[in-house]
Structure 1
């Protein structure tokens, strides 16, 4: 196999500026419950696009969550301001939908204290919009989902998988379904396509929005919906059929994990600290992965670096999220320490290659003991196990790593 250079960026979550008709209560309330830098999404997208145009990359893979919430105008913004620029420069771009991108009742515009629904896209409209970015030139299409196969080079294919359940979204109840699954018909499609590639001696790499594997112990129990249903049996099937690597997103964290020889390479979000993207070099049987970041954007004029700004933004978001998770019956002083510690661990997890220092380990044990004495033995155990799982990464390395893909 000749050397192939691929970029991977995930969870772009671009928000078209027209959706913020007037900044005010409605958008402020939304942002307070969200950890994405939506106001900066277009600037981050521009900086990323420029970085790829100035590189030697020939292919870009985007494993879903292209838009804030599937707004038609946001899809068009992404295509007009990023994808078409790359395509015109000779770069092949492949996309798949994430759980935010299709048939989404949360597609809204904000006008001061009000929000109003705007046009989203159907599954067929999504495929049509992105016909130049995978769907129009796919060598195979799944009839049960928006999955497809793309011949990247004569000896390399991309198995682009749609595990979303946008057909289950409910506009009357304002519900957008987050979890993912691969339907029985899609699993048959996967088996057929991997068998076909194996017969021809063609290497396949996978791309899917949801995780194929857990990225930290207890992930499925604590925050279900980030890994596909029946993931281990599906991972085993894929490995036996010849697949070695699945590129994923969804969790907004940098992590690489493996199960019996198949790797899940998860890429963080462009609109979440530390705004990472990956560069992958394929040469022979080796896949070399390196991580890069968007460290500054045009128009930013804060008193601290953009990197520090994004980190503090993320920390505030995690604190808000954990306020809902940690029991309010826990004493305030202990609860605050637990929330602050878990926020720090999540920030580390987002950056990847996270390790708990000796001082943090002592603090972790101290907080667990405080919870046990003042509130609950059960929650002491939960805190102890989850904080260690999130904050203490296991092999392999998350940001820079090499994988044997044969």
Structure 2
């Protein structure tokens, strides 16, 4: 009898230790990978790279460095919340998967969800010399087949209305992956906006109910943002948030979801939302590996606490000044886009006001993509200059809110 009790005690203690074992989580997002087989050198590719500011070889080197870093870190799981490829090219999906296979051989489980650039994209292209040719894209079914080893093949449950699925992490943790895209509506181009289908939400609520009965925690992942990450994002950039964001955030928070990993907006930002009932959900958005500052996250889940750390790629072998170069590219692109939007408002503003407003937007974006926005001297000067032009001589720029809590790059969150 004593021997039996000893064995029982030993097994129980070992199970407790196993259950308490920390989980290492990595997150990369919005890689926008373009296969080398589709990127033939020539005028066509140069035109694309100039327009987007994305040099294909640079981005491949960035991804290679991150994969190498992750091999050294050996995370238990890697989350990828969408926009895996440039425009849904089948060859890009296949090559991207091949790039990540060394991680699986190292013991890392990989989980993906599609982004708006991954499925049924009608503008998928191949670049050859001075020409572009249509490239084969993928259907939703083909996406799930390609990534059978990255979540879909071993899912505990699959949603019948979308590519959403539930994955098993361990006996006390599940991963709920939402497909928030509108690829079934694509005709001549992609749609940036996203939504959670009513059928999918009902499917998810049943899972939350089951998890509550079994005392299981759930973390979520989706491409589109669930929570507003910057002032007026829902006004100026609604397509980067799911439709009915507040309603969905209320429902998911009250159902027990505390953490959701997102991408899409190409910014490294974390923002929390508290429901009317007092339940908090935190949207952990990870920036793009196709854009400055090339961030990825390493997270330790220990004792129901997520300890989040952000890493960035500042250089690659051919380009020691990678960060500086791509920061300038982003600055130029943002200024061009901001000027275009301001002009499209058809408001008779003097040229100096248009330029000052565009400069403010550029500085805000450069801060926002990095996260933990602090009012720099240059930003304060831009705001002060714009306020002066607008007749607000005594505007206090220090009161201007740039970032929502909590911290964005290094923070601990309760699960």
TM-score, normalised via structure 2 length: 0.88
For residues 367 and 49 of structure 2, the distance between their equivalents in structure 1, rounded to whole angstroms, comes to 22
**Which residue in the other structure is 2:409 paired with?**
399
Distance 2:235 2:96 in 1: 34
> Structure 1 CA distance, aligned partners of 2:337 and 2:288?
17
Q: 2:235 aligns with which of 216, 221, 227?
A: 221
| RCO comparison, higher one (Cα < 8 Å, 6+) | 1
The answer (yes or no) to whether the contact 1:245–1:262 under 8 Å persists in 2 is yes
- Relative to structure 1, the CA distance from residue 35 to residue 257 in structure 2 (aligned partners, 3 Å threshold; closer, same or farther) is farther
Q: 317, 332, 343: which is aligned to 1:316?
A: 332
The offset of 1:23, in angstroms, is 2.5
Q: TM-score, normalised by structure 1?
A: 0.90
Which has the greater radius of gyration?
A: 2
Length, aligned pairs only: 384
Unaligned segments of structure 2, at least 5 residues: 1-19, 275-279
Specify which of 155, 166, 174 is matched with residue 183 of structure 2. 166
Matched, 1:363 2:382: yes
Secondary structure of 2:200 counterpart: helix
Instruction: Give 2:119's match in structure 1, choosing from 102, 107, 112.
Output: 102
CA RMSD of aligned residues (A): 2.1
List structure 1 segments (4+ residues) > 6 angstroms apart after TM superposition: none
Counting only pairs closer than 5 Å after superposition, residues 100-179 of structure 1 correspond to structure 2 as: 100-170=117-187, 174-179=188-193
Equivalent residue, structure 1, for 2:194 = 180
Deviation of the 1:307 alpha carbon: 1.5
| SS of equivalent residue, structure 1 residue 66 | coil
Retained in 2: the 8 A contact 1:159–1:204? Answer: yes
Match of 1:381 in 2: none
Closer, same or farther: CA 154–185 of 1 in aligned 2, 3 Å: same
Once the two structures are TM-superposed, the CA of residue 153 in structure 1 deviates from its matched residue by 1.3
Structure 1: 5+ residue stretches without partners: 378-383
Are the structure 2 counterparts of residues 37 and 214 from structure 1 closer, same or farther at C-alpha, using a change threshold of 3 Å?
farther
Judge conservation of contact 1:274–1:351 (CA < 8 Å) in 2.
yes
Whole-Å separation in 1 of the counterparts to 2:113 and 2:378: 42
1:62-101 residue pairs with structure 2 within 5 A? Answer: 62-82=80-100, 84-101=101-118
Verify the 8 A CA contact 2:229 2:404 in the aligned structure 1. Answer: no
Q: CA deviation at 1:35?
A: 5.1
Aligned: 1:287 with 2:344:
no
C-alpha distance in structure 2 between counterparts of 1:231 and 1:394, whole Å: 17
In 2, Cα distance between the equivalents of 1:306 and 1:362? 27
Which residue does the alignment assign to 1:59?
Answer: 77
d(CA) in 1 for partners of 2:56, 2:400: 30
Deviation at 1:40, TM superposition (A): 1.8
